[in-house]
Amino acid sequence: MTEPTRLALRRRSFLAGSLAGAGILAAPAIVRAQPKEMVVGGASSQQTWTNEIMIPAFEKKYNIKVVYEGTRSLVNLEKMQKNKGSQYLSLVQMDDPVMITAVAEGLLTPLTKVVPNAASLKPGVTHMEGMWVNYLQPWVGIAYNTNRMAAPTSWAEAYDPKYKGRVILPGLQNTEGVMNLFLASFLKTGKPMAEAQKDMDAAFAKLKEMKPNLLMAYTQEGQAYNLLEQGEAFMVYGSISTLALARKARGAPIELAAPKEGTFSMPSGVALVKDGPMPEMAAAYIDLMLSPEIQAQLAAATYALPTNGKVPAPAGLDKLVIHPIDWANVSANRASWVTRWDKEMSL
């Protein structure tokens, strides 16, 4: 009675094993059989507009299949590190601080000479002699509940005692949280933004003054917007346009204010992988991404500012100053800033 059962089990496991083996063998064959396929490494948060705008436009124009691998910047970096010598990614969309590492490790190749539209980019969005460019500027403002307060005009407003317990900050784990340190330093010292980014003593001294006004510091932005839309919080201080304006468009009673001191934009770089497959096609992809038509579409879909100077900024934002961020400084010091935040901003 036991014998046939055992035999059946063995057969089944043999079958499963051989299927798995066939799968492993088949995978590279599929890749090999499709030479006209270009792989783009990016972030999963960029998947929607890539699928809806970029890929259809590119595939139509060049008749080539694009595969988008949406993950995180550091994972893309690891993919390039591990495949050095036989890269399979043609281009990458990564955060600016990660781009710096990739440049240092010789994983990128300059794009400005092979991408004609790079010539019409706004100042400040081409980095390290054309190693990467920003294709969009998701700007950071103050999101506020329109039922609870009037539009804030300055970053200083959140320090007003009338907002006791009503302000939400991003934690320093979030990149938009790091920018609050620069703003605090700027408000404390009045130094130009570029210098203010270096003065962390002033930054923490100022940010601590906001403690009585703080409702919380978030790591999950969904929670922050939830509290804002319910009216428990009046403002999210350091809110990304891509998120806040998308929620507003869905009917949330919120608005995103662009303070008069100017602001920063979230990292959003694109670069060519050094010795990556299909370099001409990769350059063409970036060129299309930076073209006025696609820039206008991307900016509308993501509520970010276009980086091509020929594309007008959304209404009311044409005078908004985007201050550059010294990402090398951020990368080198972020861990120590986080530790300091834990101590000085704790409950």
Contact set with other proteins (CB under 8 A): 74, 165, 171-173, 214-220, 223, 226-227, 230-232, 335, 338-339, 341-343, 345-347
Strands (E), the chain: 37-43, 65-71, 91-94, 108-109, 126-127, 132-134, 136-137, 140-145, 167-170, 214-218, 235-240, 254-257, 269-273, 305-306
Q: Which two tokens stand for residue 153?
A: 């005009």
Distance of CA 71 to the CA centre of its chain: 12
| Smallest gap from residue 211 Cβ to other proteins (A) | 9
φ/ψ of 289, rounded to 5, equals -60, -35
φ/ψ of 237, rounded to 5, equals -95, 95
- Residues 345, 328: Cα–Cα separation, whole Å: 24
| Smallest gap from residue 76 Cβ to other proteins (A) | 15
Specify the residue, 153 or 339, whose C-beta has the smaller distance to other proteins. Answer: 339
| Smallest gap from residue 139 Cβ to other proteins (A) | 23
Specify the residue, 206 or 323, whose C-beta has the smaller distance to other proteins. Answer: 206
Q: How many CA atoms lie within 13 A of 273 on its CB side?
A: 31
- Closest Cα to residue 75, out of 104, 31, 44? 44
| Smallest gap from residue 342 Cβ to other proteins (A) | 5
Q: Residue 154: left (phi > 0), alpha (psi -120 to 50), or beta?
A: beta
Specify the residue, 56 or 212, whose C-beta has the smaller distance to other proteins. Answer: 212
Residue 270 neighbours by CB under 8 Å, 6+ apart: 91, 92, 93, 132, 133, 134, 135, 286, 289
Specify the residue, 9 or 74, whose C-beta has the smaller distance to other proteins. Answer: 74
**Residue that the structure tokens 């409702």 belong to:** 215
Specify the residue, 278 or 345, whose C-beta has the smaller distance to other proteins. Answer: 345
Interior angle at CA 303, CA 52 and CA 291, nearest 5: 60
| Smallest gap from residue 166 Cβ to other proteins (A) | 9
Specify the residue, 154 or 339, whose C-beta has the smaller distance to other proteins. Answer: 339
**Residue that the structure tokens 């499963």 belong to:** 16
φ/ψ of 235, rounded to 5, equals -145, 150
**269-273/132-134 β-pairing:** antiparallel
Q: Which two tokens stand for residue 140?
A: 């950071």
| Smallest gap from residue 207 Cβ to other proteins (A) | 12
Specify the residue, 254 or 289, whose C-beta has the smaller distance to other proteins. Answer: 254
Residue type, 328: A
| Smallest gap from residue 148 Cβ to other proteins (A) | 12
| Smallest gap from residue 307 Cβ to other proteins (A) | 27
Specify the residue, 210 or 317, whose C-beta has the smaller distance to other proteins. Answer: 210
